[in-house]
Amino acid sequence: MNTLNKFSLEGKIALVTGAAYGIGFAIAEALADAGAKIAFNCRGQVHMDAALKAYEEKGIDAKGYFCDVTDEAQVKKMVAQIEEELGVIDILVNNAGIIKRIPMTEMSVDEFRQVVDIDLNAPFIMSKAVIPGMIKKGHGKIINICSMMSELGRETVSAYAAAKGGLKMLTKNIASEYGKYNIQCNGIGPGYIATPQTAPLREPQADGSKHPFDSFIISKTPAERWGDPEDLMGPAVFLASDASDFVNGHILYVDGGILAYIGKQP
């Protein structure tokens, strides 16, 4: 077999959660470019309409479904619809997530639970829903969007770090439990990516100077820049394709080298 053919996703059905914009959209675009048929979810009509327009502008025939990924009944219904309309899901990307930047002692229990529900419980619910079909089909790829906070802590992100650390271990456990069925479950751990979610951290100060956090991240990144959503495209195609058939339970950090770097001496 030609090596490049192993990266082809022709004929594959990919479900990418939270793929209306940002990282999820970029990953869905990459999978589509490699040949996959794309399904994605939204919770509201406004985001759905904007997403469908964006996919159309890219020339991608993506199918959108209304679904709250924290609701198991809705997830089961969506997966059944996708199987009926497109086929059994070959690739699941658990991308939907939120972050609340609140000091731990000021964060309510409900706020903590909301982050964990979306960032950790939802990937469990989604994976649980697609694994039976993957077992019957004889193969499957699950990609969990983890984070550097799967490894590190930082001020104000206790819920996010707890959820993403849990997602790392859920990834390893799915690999351990279902690898015998030719199902590979891996994670991508983005570094600091320039998306609408991180835009407030990159806004210039009133005097025109860089946001302190913007300067901090650039100083801590050997690449000396924020990542772009496009930086995640190649890793996503690799982990979704036959090229990664013996890669399982791995978290691929796409962070410009932050986790490898102790930082400059003051």
> Percent helix, strand, coil in the chain (nearest 5)?
50, 15, 35
Lookup: tokens for 224:
């000396």
Structure tokens at 220: 């801590």
Helix (H, G, I), strand (E, B) or coil at 16: strand
Q: How many residues does the chain have?
A: 266
Indicate the pTM of the whole model. Answer: 0.96
Do residues 39 and 45 lie in contact, with contact meaning Cβ atoms separated by under 8 Å? no
Closest CA to 124 of 169, 179, 84, 180: 169
* Measured distance CA(146)–CA(31) in Å, rounded: 18
Query: What is the average per-residue pLDDT within 159-169?
Result: 98
Of 146, 124, 116, the C-alpha closest to 72 is 124
For all residues of the chain together, what is the average pLDDT?
A: 96
Residue-level pLDDT at 197? 78
Find all residues with CB under 8 Å of 134, minimum gap 6, and list them: 88, 89, 90, 140, 178, 181, 183
Mark residue 182 as left, alpha or beta (left: phi above 0; alpha: psi -120 to 50; beta: remaining).
left
**Model confidence at 1: pLDDT above 70:** no
On whether the CB atoms of residues 94 and 122 are closer than 8 A, the answer is: yes
Confidence label for 184 from pLDDT (cuts 50, 70 and 90):
very high
Calculate mean pLDDT across residues 166-174: 98
SS3 141: strand
Q: What is the largest CA-CA distance in the chain?
A: 60
Close Cβ partners of 192 (under 8 Å, ≥ 6 residues apart): 148, 198, 201, 217, 221, 226, 227, 255, 258
Active-site positions?
Answer: 160
120-130 average pLDDT score: 98
